[in-house]
Amino acid sequence: MKIQWLGHSAFLLHGKNKVLIDPFLTGNPKAAARPEEIDCDIICVTHGHLDHLGDAVAIARRTGAEVACIVEMSLYLEKCSIKATGFNIGGTAKIKDTKVSMVPAFHSSSIGAPGLEFSAAMATGMVIDSGKVVYHAGDTSVFGDMKLIGEMYEPDVALLPIGGFYTMDPVQAALATKLIAPKIVIPMHYGTWPPIEQDPKEFERLVKKQSKAKVRVMVPGEVLEV
C-alpha cells in the first residue's frame, strides 16, 4: 500500500482500492492537491467539520466514489445526490474490496450547510483494511479504549492528530501510540493554522520513550510505501 498525506488530516491510500480520507483541500493552506486532481474509489469521512468533510461532495460527484460515514451524515449526503454507506460505531462496511470499520473518537461534529448548521451525530475514527490496516483516528483526545482498537484490528499504520487545542497534543498522541501499538505512526492535524502549531519531532521523541512504533513525519504530498 502507498499512503499519501495531502495535508491536515487528508490522506489518499493506494491499496486494493483508492481510499480518500477527510478530503479538506479547498481552503487548506497546506493542501498538496486540488480537488479536481484527486481520483478515488472510496471516501471516508470521520466527522462533519469543514476541515474533514471538506471537498467530499464535489469529489464524490465527479468520481462516483462511495462515501463511508456515520449514518446521520449519510442522510445529508444522499440529499446531495451522493452515494453513501452510513453505518455506526462498532460496525464494519465492505465497500468494493475494502473493509471500513468505525470506531469511537472523542470530539464534536456538525455540518455547515448553506444557510444553516446542524449536528452530524458524533465524530468517529476509521480502521481501513485495503491490503494493509490503517487506523485514522479522526479528531480525538487520547482514550483508554484505543488499546482495544489496537488489539482488535492490529493496525499496521496509525494516523494520529497532534495539534492540541482541538485534539490531543504530542504528549497525548504519544500515549495513544503506546496504547494502539501500530508498526508505524504518522502525525497529522497540526501546523495548518497557528492554534495547532506543533513540533512533530517532539512527538517523535516522546513516542521513542514509550513505544516500539516507528514514527514517520511526512510533508504534504509525500508518499510512503508500507
Q: Are 160 and 137 in contact (CB under 8 A)?
A: yes
CB-based burial, 128-166: b 16+ in 10 Å, e otherwise: bbbbbbbbbbbbbbbbeebeebbeebebbbbbbbbbbeb
In degrees to the nearest 10, what's the CA dihedral of 11, 90, 70, 177? -30
How high is the pLDDT of residue 223?
98
- The model's pLDDT over 48-68, given as tens digits with 9 standing for 90+, comes to 999 999 999 999 999 999 999
| SS3 assignment, position 14 | strand
Q: What is the mean pLDDT of the chain?
A: 97
pLDDT grade for 113, boundaries at 50, 70 and 90:
confident
Topology classification of domain 2-219? Metallo-beta-lactamase; Chain A (3.60.15)
Q: Are 101 and 68 in contact (CB under 8 A)?
A: no
Phi/psi at 181 (5° precision): 55, 50
Q: Are 42 and 117 in contact (CB under 8 A)?
A: no
**What pTM was computed for the model?**
0.98
Per-domain residue ranges of the chain = 2-219
How high is the pLDDT of residue 125?
98
